[in-house]
Chains A and B, each alone.
Chain A
Amino acid sequence: MTIADMVAVLNAKVLVGGDKLDTPVYTACCSDLMSDVLAFVDEKTVLITGLTNPHVVRTSEMLDLKCLVFARGKIPTDDILQSADDQGLVVLATKLTAFSACGVLYEMGLRGVPVPVQWDQEDK
């Protein structure tokens, strides 16, 4: 699917990067914890989040993410959107909660970023 397909199923507003909607997307992750995103995301992927501070965009910049989706109708401030635009990100906003946004995207074929997770007892 492409970011344009995401816009359609999320009924999303395109806040930034309207010229890149034909970018293909295969995976996504969802988190409000940028520490986890920085530690576990290895791909140029999509981040769905409810956090709207500048560090969401900076984290995306460090990881070369393709697209940010702000859930629950949250819209970041203009300076945050400007910095997202400067680095070529696509930023969407949806009225759906993060859970519902993930659900409809999964149904459309988007899958989670592979994250290696092991229980402690499996290490032994």
Chain B
Amino acid sequence: MEPMYTGSYQVAKDDYTSAGHASADIKRQLKQIGVSGDVLRRVAVASYEVELNLVIHSLGGELTLNVYPDCVQLVSSDVGPGIPDLNMAMKEGYSTASEMARSMGFGAGMGLPNMKRNADDFNIESTVGVGTTITMGFHLR
């Protein structure tokens, strides 16, 4: 099914200054479409977490918002480096974030678990040397 609305955002590696702009825009767009309350908040948090992950961990990537009549979908797709141990990465408190990320108040190893907690559907696929794709779904009714 074709989405009612699609928006794509490029997210650059180590761009801490712009990190969050895509998620702020995603939140604005969804608000305009009429998404509100708990779902809006969960999408915003998960989007911000995944956007930060692109900045902190990836070599760069793209964040895509798809809105369907019954669901909001976020897809984060990067060009590497890939996650060697997905089980560890999904564990609360496990982090490979840089000092820079930590000095900004992140890198506590809560990102992926928090995305999973906020999304109704969560899927992550990663290949070392290729990249990581995270797909999250949020039910609208």
Contacts and interface: CB of A to CB of B under 8 A. Distances in A.
B108 A64 contact: no
A71 B117 CA distance: 30
B105 A58 contact: no
Interface string B31-52: 0000000000100110111000
A51 B104 CA distance: 8
Interface stretch (A5-13, A15-23, A33-41, A107-115): A33-41
B48 A62 contact: yes
A88 B70 CA distance: 30
Interface residues of B, number: 24
B10 to A, nearest CB: 18
B15 to A, nearest CB: 12
Given A39-B114, A62-B48, A64-B41, A55 B106 contact: yes
A39 B20 contact: no
A61 B117 CA distance: 19
B105 A33 contact: yes
B41 A34 contact: no
A39 B113 contact: yes
Interface string B17-37: 101100110010000000000
A62 B44 contact: yes
B60 interface: no
A105 interface: no
Given A35-B109, A55-B20, 18 more contacts: A32-B105, A35-B111, A36-B108, A38-B45, A38-B48, A39-B108, A39-B114, A54-B17, A55-B19, A56-B105, A58-B20, A58-B23, A59-B105, A61-B24, A62-B24, A62-B41, A62-B48, A63-B45
Interface of A: 32-36, 38-39, 51, 53-56, 58-59, 61-64
